[in-house]
Chains A and B, each alone.
Chain A
Amino acid sequence: MVNLISRLCGKLDPLSIYDYREKGGFKSLEKVLFKMKPIDVIDEIKKSNLKGRGGAAFPTGLKWQFVSMEESDEKYVICNADEGEPGTFKDKILLDGCPFQIIEGMLIAGYAVGAKKGFIYIRGEYPKSKELLIEAVDILKKEGYLGDNILSSDFSFDIEIRSGAGAYVCGEETALIESIEGEPGRSRFKPPYPPNKGLWGKPTLVNNVETLANIPVILEIGAENYKKYGTESSSGTKLISVSGSVVNKGVYEVEFGITLREIIYDICGGLIEDRKLKFLQIGGSSGVCIPADMLDLRLDFDEFRKHDIGLGSGAILVVDENTCVVDFIKVTSEFFEHESCGKCTPCREGNYHIVRILKRIAEGKGSKRDLDLLKNISDVMQQCSLCGLGQAAPTALITTMKYFKEEYEEHLKGYCRAGKCTFKGGVLDE
């Protein structure tokens, strides 16, 4: 474990600007405003090799560059705080622990890309965090860190706090933008990407909370020092949210390069009641399920990619042998059926059919044909859906059908090894 991004969390009064400055807060902003040109800031971020922490791992510096290169009278910076991925709660730690650090990151981003206006889109289920942010913004306005001519410089920047009504899809950047615009949260097709045409059609930078929290740190210690953390392909640290059948659940900041085994057994103290690990789901409900024999994988974007795994939001769900794969995927699929925005055909209809088929299998009424259908549906969703939600929704299904095929097949024969599914003649478990 390390304390780089989260070093101030829990160490100060989150709304005390005095505390924050005492611990080095706003030093990076001052440095940027008075000693660096926007292009230098972008170069520094590019040099740091920081990749987006929201899930897609897009190089942050490059994204900034795209926005900065756009010619427009108006540009926006959006902080994506719609942390909706199940099992993910790391942004909340940062938002509650040190809101000024995230806002400082936004200010620097705004300066670098040429935006004067920022939005923090925070999920409706974080009412306390939202209140805190509203207060933090008010304080910063009073102290001259937000508004016109920040710290008497030429740079002006303002922030508004917005939130939706709790739709998962609003974590997807274009749906989030629609939501800020007052429309129902439904994704747009890309391109155009937000850096070219985003909020109200203007160039828009959308960064995750954790990504923005990295910014003041990188500028404070310098890209070279920052790169000392982590691996060559994945510099820095990652906040991971560990939940499930593990002794020490929680959010941990770890350096890239750590193995999953170290995370589960060294940091989190292994499984509860010494249960046997069945699989880990990485990156939330839209993430892959990898079996226990892949525990030596290192937390690293490139290494993960080799195995077709996305790190996603950095959630790790630990699942033990008492869990039935079919039941687990059924619940996961029900989540996506509930959360699909309904705009594109594959996602709107695919989730529905997946849930129906999995229910059938869990009730012992499934057939070999149903497994083929699941494969068909998940392929079509993954390859043809309009946005990331539909493309990623069947990931857990696809990977469990790959790694736990025999368990699905057992269900066709009326056997559930975890004893979860009740079969023909019994009381059905809905």
Chain B
Amino acid sequence: MDYNLSKEKFNQLLSELKQEYQIYAPVRKENKGTYSANDLITYDLIDNLDDIELNKKSKYSAKEIVFPIRETLFHFMDGEQKMASEDEEKYIIFLRPCDRNAFKRLDKIFLENGPEEDIYYKRLREKVKFFVIECTEGFDSCFCVSMDSNEVERDDYSAFLRFREDGISFKLNDQELKNNYFTDVNDFEKINFEAQFIQENKIKVNLPDKDKITNEVFENELWTEYSERCIACGRCNTSCPTCSCFTVKDVLYDENKKSGERFRRWAGCHIDGFTEMAGGHSFREEHGDRMRYKTMHKIYDFAERFDFDMCVGCGRCDDVCPEYISFSKCINKLSQIVEEGA
């Protein structure tokens, strides 16, 4: 059963949910954009539906709620270690299907790759409920349909929301919320609606035939072009909803007491030092090689390990690149090269 609710009624529910949940959604922050007099669209806490920015894509994804930019792993003092305490908050995240699907990619790395689960990711992830925003139009740089991440399954969300002029149509798929918050659903207007998903983006990407990819393509001059253009700023990494790399660092508060903390911080394969080992040896000094490495990870290597591609086609990397490098164009060029057998 699906329901219709007025905006006012839904906002009332949100204010009740706020007692227990931190509610995140894409919001507009005026004059906080990269350029002067530009707004920043990003994820932040909301009070009600009017706070949500639905008409523009967020520059950053929702990943930092579950995988913070900087996260304390443990505190240490005089040889004793204490795992960073867990906050009691639970989270509701309003997000589009591509961004919901991005969490499936993060789940693979943090919960399935390697011999054990990442306990820090897991303890945040378990407290997240997804409210998926119906997305039928997309934005200019999106290519989610090509990446097969334009749709979600019923099990992927606690609620699925269609935003109408006068209210919200929603599917509720969460027993906990039904029992504790949506208790008067019997008074709601009952409807049936089919979740709609975008079926065609303005940008289409042809993925290279995985069976035809050989190492010869690594040497292609395609990558040399990116050596000339990419400035290794890593914006594509930080805006990406599926980039999950991090670096572990220590900070010493007090040398005498030997107190401080070990933390992790986002890292990116485009940024200098990503591969640098003790003694100074690095791999992929050329920026074009970093583009090649990232591209292959997003559309080939990850799928070799987990059976689906890492890239969800949100297009954020194209939106933020200061050199106007387009990832979707790169994939298409790569496909053409692979197809031509070069």
Decide whether A and B are members of one complex: no
